Each structure stands twice: as C-alpha cells, then as structure tokens.
Amino acid sequence: MDTGYDVIDDSLYSRQRYVLGDSAMQRMAKSNVLLVNIGGLGVEIAKNIVLAGIKSLTIQDGSQATYLDLGCQFFITEDDVKSGKNRAETSAVRISELNPYVSVRTLTNQLTELLDLEYLKEYQCVILTETSLDVQLRISDFCRKQNPQIMMIVADVYGVFSWTFCDFGDTFDVVDPNGEEPKQVFISNVTKDNPGEVTTLDNMLHGFETGDLVRFKEIRGMDSLNGTQCKIKDLSKFDAPANIHLGMLTTECFKQKHGHLPGVWCLQDADNFVQLAAEENIKLTNKLEELDTTLLRQMSLTCCGRLAPLCATLGGIVAQEALKALTGKFTPLHQWLHLDAAEVLNGLEVKPSDSFQPVQSRYDALRICVGGELCQKLATLKLFMVGCGAIGCEMMKNYALLGISTADQGKLTITDHDLIEKSNLNRQFLFKPHHIRKAKSTTSAASAKEINPALIIDAHQNKVWPQTEADIYHDKFYESQDVVVNALDNLEARRYVDSRCVTNQRPLLESGTMGAKGHVQVIIPHLTESYSSQRDPPEIEVPYCTLKSFPAQIEHCIQWARDKFESTFVQKPQLHNKFWSTNNADDVIKRLSDGQSIDGCVTASKVLYARPLNWIDCVTVARLKFEKYFNHRAKNLLHIFPLDTKMPDGSLFWQSPKRPPTPVNFDPQNPTHMLFITSWAKIIASVCGVPWAKADVTEDTMKAILLKVQVPEFRPSGKRVETDENAGKTEETEITGDDLKDSANRIQTTLLSKPQAFQPLSTAEFEKDDDSNGHIDFITAASNLRATMYNIETVDRLKAKRIAGRIVPAIATTTAAVAGLVTIELIKLVKKAPLEHFKNCFLNLALPIFLFSEPGPVEKVTMLSGTTYTLWDRWEIRGNKNFTVQEFLNSLKEKYNAIADSVIHGVKMLYVPIIPAHKKRLRQPMLQFLKSASSKKYVDLVVSFKAAADDTEVEQEGPPVRYFFGI
C-alpha cells in the first residue's frame, strides 16, 4: 500500500494542522515508528500516533491475547482470547483502519536481550512498553550510538501507577517550544537605558510570560531594534515523584529476583516489596530520606492489573512525546514523568480477599486494581453523557473497558445531534469513513458495543438545551442519573448542563481541550463549586472604528471580512425578502415619492437595484466592490485625514496603532485579486439564484468579463468617519427627502427593466468546511487585501479559516489524556471518595505541564438573618390547592427564618408588595397565579428576602424555592 502523503488532506487533518502546522505534518508523514508490545498502554499509543499521520507503524509483540488484555486493550476481543491470537496481528488489522495514509506492520517475535538490533535502524523512534530493564538499557545504548540517533521512549503502567522516560539525545532541536500564536502588542516608548525599558500603549496588557522571546518590528527612531530578539527570563523545571520512581525500580528488581511480579493483593509479597525497596533506596545516588510505605504496598498489591483510564492518559502523553521526537514541535518531557491514580485504592480493605483475584473475566485488569465490589457498582451505574465527539468517543471506550452500565440496573444514556464529518475521523477513533453523515451518538454506541457487547446504551440525537427541558431532559430524568458527564465543545452548552445539574443536585464531570491544552473539573453537590462559579475573563472587544477604518492586526481584517460576509450575503437578502413580502412595489414608489419613509426602504432599494441576474452581472458587482473596498475607501480616508493631519495636542493622527492606508490597484494577474472577484461572484450568484458553470470561472473567461467593466472614478464621500474608540456602531443615518426620491427611482427603474429582481433571495449561511462554496476563499482574499491596504502581514488560507470559523484546534493525544483523567475521577465518584481525593487538572502537552488541584470548595452565603446556604441548596415548601400566598410566606419564615419580600415565577411577578394590587393576593391561593404550571407537581420560584442592617431594611437574594402544589 502506498503510504504517507505529499499534499495534506485538509478534510481529514484540518483540526490537527492548526496545532502542529504543515511542516510538522510533513515530517510525520516521512517517519517510521516501532512500538514494542501492544497491551493496554501500547494500543493507546498506537491509536494516537496513527491518527496523527505518521508514515508507518511497526508493532512488535510475541504475546498471545489474554483476559487481562480485555480490560484495557480495546482492539482485542473475547474471541481473540479464546483462540489464542497474537496481540500484534489481531490489533494491527483494526489499527490500520484508523488512517488510510499509515502503513501498519507486525513482528511477532519477542524483543529480548539476545535479539540482533540492526533492524531498529529503519526507525526514527522506538517506543518500549512491557519490557524488562535489561532490554531497555540495551536498546537505549544501541539507539544512542546511531547517527542520527534513534529517539527512544519507555513507558509502563502497573496497576494504578505509571511512568515514562524519553531520550531524544543531547542535540535535539525544538523548532517550536509551545505552538502558541505569536502575540502582537503596540509599543508607545523605548528608552535608551541599559537595560532599556519598553512601554506598551495605555490600557493594553501585553500578556507575555517569563521565558518568552519578543521580536521588535516597525520601530521608528530606533531602527536598529527592528528584527532583534530579547528573552524575558528562564523557566523552572519539573520534578518527578521519587517514591513512584523507586517503586518502579523495585518492581523490576522483584521480577529479576523472583521471576514474577508480586502476587495479586498478596500481603506477604507486599511486605517483601517494601523491604526490597528499602534495599534499593540505599543504592541510589539521591536517596529518599523517608519511604512512603503505603504507596509502595499499593504498587505491589495492584501491579499485575492495569487501570484502563490511566493507560489512556499515559498513552496520550507518550504519543505526543513521540510526535515531538519526530517533528521537533513542542518542548519534550524533561525525561521522566510519573503519574498515578492511587486515590482509587484509598479506603479499600487490605486483607486476603477473593474480591481482587482474577476470575478469567474481561474485567480482571480492573478487578485487580479496585476489587469486585467496585466493579459491580460501575456496572450498575446510570450515567448521562452529553456529546459524542472527540472526548465522547474516548469516554465511550473507557466505559466499555471498565464495564460501566453493563448490569441490568445500569444504563448509559448519550446524546449528540451532530452527524459525522470526514474531519472528525482524525481524532474520533470510533468513527470510520463509512460512518460519514451518520449520527455520532448511535454510531459511537455501536462501536463501543463492539469493544464490550454487554454495554446497555440508550443513544439520543437531541440537543440538551431549554427546548428539550420540558419533555425529554426534565428534572425527573436528571434525578434518575447517578452522574452526568460533559463531552462538549462550547461554553454555552457547558453552562446550561451545569445549571441543570445544580438544580437537580447531580454530580458533573466537566472537561475540554484546545490543541495541546486540556482541563478536567469535578463538580460534586454540596461539596464543590460548580462550573459556572468561575468565569473566564471576557474577550477584549475591538472598537468599532478600528474594524471599520483603522485595522492594526490581521485579526481585525479577518473580522471585517467576516462581518462583510454576514452583512452582504445574509442580512441584506433577509431584509430584501422581508421588505418585499410585506410591501407592494407600486405602493412603495408612491409613498416614497410623497416623502413618506418606510423602514428599510433605502437598503431594500439598493439591494434590489444592484441585484445581478446573470454571471456577467455577478462578476461586475464583484469588481465594483473591489474598487470600493480596497481603493476608494483608502483614498477617502486619506482625503479626510491627510498624512500630515494633527491631533488637538499636536501629535500626528496617523501614528501607531493607526496605520495609514494605501489604495490597492486592481491587477488581474494577482491571484489574491482574482480570488476575491471569483469568490464574491460565486457567493452572490448562489444568493441570487444565478446559474454558472466551470467554464465561467476560467481565467480567460473572467478576464474577458473584467475588461468590459466600467469602473467609476473616485469621488470623496461626505460621510463622517468615526474615530472615537468608545463609540459603537451607529444606526443608519437620518433619511432625507433626497434619499427617499433616490430609493423610489431605483425601485421604479428595476420594476421597468428587470421585474424578476423582486423574487426572494437565498442566504449564504457561513459554512467553513465546504471548499466548493467559496466562503473561505472570500474571507482569505478579502482579509489579505485589506491587510495589504493597511500594510499588515497577510495570512494563509488555513489561518484565515481558523480565525473566521472560530475553530478550536484539536489533536487526539490531548483528547485521550483528558478522557482518561475524567474517567479516573468517575471511579472516585462511584466509590464515594472524600473531597481531598478528587483532582481537577490543567494540562498542556506542548510544554509539557500537568497541574493538579483539589476541587474548589463551594462558597457559603450567610444572610443577614444568620441563615446560610450554598448554590446547591434549594428550599422547599409543600402546600395544597387552597394554600394562599400568605401561607407560603409564613412557611418560609417558619422553616427557614427568612422574610420574603417578593416572589417571581419566570418573568411573572407573583407577589411584589410595593405594587398596591398585590396586597390583595395574600388571601388568594398560590395556584391561582400559577395556572400555566399547574400540570406539574411543583414550580421553581425566585424569592428575595428582607432583613435589617444598620437600622435599615435591605433586600437579599436567597436560594431557589421549589413550591409543591400538593395536588
């Protein structure tokens, strides 16, 4: 099979390209990797690097599939175990289906100390799992002697502990340490001191961090600085947990001494293991002053098992390190990393028990780690997962391996309203090419059941939002769930699910990724804050005048192009349709001629008059727009504000960040100029229902049309140009009598010359993933033309698409790591671990950095009355059909020591005492004012309370109040 790729398939790799870039992608496409042993960790690594798009992967494994594999190796089936198939051969078939560009080969002999290693020379990277220390040392020595050196990674998972080691040599070059887009800030002043001081413009945070490199450009007065670089400060290093490291060394020593790993939950072996660790510690150069005997015993008791989500986490990390080795993209691990999930063991009774012993079950690898009782609790779990995309696929795989929702009492409910696209295949490994355009939820459910047929899954294709709250995802539904898991990619949906979990007091596991970054948040009723408790800083809004007339960065140009797209191809067609569906042309002409204005008449008349009816018209309109936007507007700005214009304080008007424009002269030989014309013509043709063929967009045809276009000469405009950065977009200027007459003339002319122009228009809803529609071509061309006009650096199509489409960069490695960490927290939830055992996480695989913290505790609010509550609290009042408003208020005071001041239901004021008529309501039944909700058993009310403070009455908010009708 021909493998690798010369031209990157953007429809497959689009999200990954935003993270890694084309050069790294091309280097991967020429790289060969050897992976030794494909157990639970190995298959995770293989999945991730094959999805990434290397040239070839060779899997070397001489072992047969066993029941222990089924608990963590998702490409091995029970039939493979029963028939004794080789792990490499049975896995390679399924791994090769992940990416058609990657060649997957197998070697079925074991890698031993005696094997001739010359065959390793064909690989650029060797990854070792499940190998002995002797083999690791021998291969390390061989790889280091090669020229160029072969990159080597070693990794393993023992029970709930894991580690990895990377050796990329002494001269490894990092071409991009973090993958971040370079930040741009504007400088107001640079001193000549040594060291010099650089000051940014007022009210602008530069956002740089310690260790960043800054490059100067466009400096005036100190030209020698242009092109130079300065470094701010060195970064600190990352330390590894010494006790886990000692435990890993002890595991190897135990195997060498006894010929096997410590027995499953064997207390005698655990004692011997601790003693051996103490002996090994004495031999170390950097000895541990005190051994963590609890941790060492845990490692001994569980090392024969494999915790699947820990394999997923480490598999994502190791795969990313392999990609770093192949490409030089991102900062490599500082050689050692140790991760554990020891909290899942805390509280388990350490005594001889059959609960932890393997029983020839697919859950043996898990059973050894956490015991049979916890396995059963996982099997009976009722879990609701929102989203079945990248994180969702990884979560489903983890659920299948752990046996979540496989017993009669359990159920895994999932929902996602999206369909599968080709670009999903690069990181959503449960989907294959033949699944394209099928539902994500039902497809991921079917694929997960291939891993574990016992899964009980209810797959929905619904959005989780207010419109489905009444009849599908109502309170009763949430109350039936043990836990909710977010696998979403947008902030609004996350906050909505979070609010529903708070209302119904359900635990929520929240996570997300952006490129190499990821986060995990554990949300537990009454213990932790919720997702919405913390808010990200709001995005800095670009002043309207900057977008309109004074762009300073390429992002401003792209936003301008995006706004122009929305205005021209969506809003104006919508206005046209609305206006002419409610107005008669003859009547409009008469009213305008009489001086009577009609809402939207000026814009509607312009859209109507300029509407193209054939392809030549479309190209003509596009050419005139080019001249208007990129030539005449520049000339008009310079006419209003000549280059020597001064501000009231005497400073120049055209100074940073304002850039004076330069008119762009149309050149049919310039590809960007022609791309703008062609893309505009295509889009306006689709809006106006104008047919065109491939022959119409050939270079010769387009140039022939353009030669005949009459371009008007520039005439200065009398329109005012906004320069105030605090001013927003103003509404349409006041319409004069001349405007009304001009509009009437345009409509009259159109009615006589092309009455078909009154037909409805289509709208071109922005679609970034369809290359045939011209949308991204237009954004790219328009953005770069505006950038050229203002002397701003242009961008390629990929960056324009990412910014305009607000695309979140994504890679499989981060997704796998985050999903693994979430699942570890899920296990803790099921075993009802104390708060201090849970871990929120922020990670960045590019640096790499892993920050763990205890979830933030819930904030307690104390009312002036002394009553306290948290966001998880809900006060309840139970009434009956005759229960009056006064009785409701009395109940609140008696039960919660709170005097209600107002009661609101939705947008309806049920009782507000400052409204005179409301005092009569005190004697009336509550149900009388809640008729719209009487079909339910309860309503949620917003109640404010009054209390005395400093001899004055103040109003305070309290928790939501749920009132039960009692009928």
> Which sequence positions are flagged as catalytic?
545
Answer yes or no: are the C-beta atoms of 156 and 311 closer than 8 Å. Answer: no
Answer yes or no: are the C-beta atoms of 528 and 522 closer than 8 Å. Answer: yes
* Identity of the amino acid at 103: S
- The three state secondary structure string of 371-386 is CHHHHHHHHCCEEEEE
Strand partners, 485: 385, 509
Is the omega angle on the peptide bond into residue 855 within 30 degrees of 0, that is, cis? no
Answer yes or no: are the C-beta atoms of 326 and 125 closer than 8 Å. Answer: yes
Answer yes or no: are the C-beta atoms of 531 and 495 closer than 8 Å. Answer: yes
Phi, psi (deg, nearest 5) at residue 963: -105, 120
75/62 Cα distance (integer angstroms): 16
Name the DSSP letter for residue 408.
T
765 to 77, 570, 707, 710: CA distances (angstroms):
45, 7, 31, 31
Strand partners, 841: 520, 852
Q: Which residue has the tokens 């916890």?
A: 374
Strand partners, 633: none
- Whats the size of the chain, residue-wise? 967
763/631 Cα distance (integer angstroms): 27
* Widest Cα–Cα separation across the chain: 104
Helix locations, 404-523, DSSP H = 440-451, 475-479, 491-503
Answer yes or no: are the C-beta atoms of 69 and 38 closer than 8 Å. Answer: no
Beta-carbon contacts of 773 under 8 Å, excluding residues fewer than 6 positions away, are 682, 683, 686, 764, 767
Query: Considering only CA atoms, which of 541, 521, 539, 476 is closest in space to residue 503?
Result: 476
495/523 Cα distance (integer angstroms): 12
DSSP strand pairing (899-905 vs 938-949) = antiparallel
838/851 Cα distance (integer angstroms): 13
Which value, to the nearest 10 degrees, does the dihedral of the CA atoms of residues 741, 745, 746, 748 take?
130
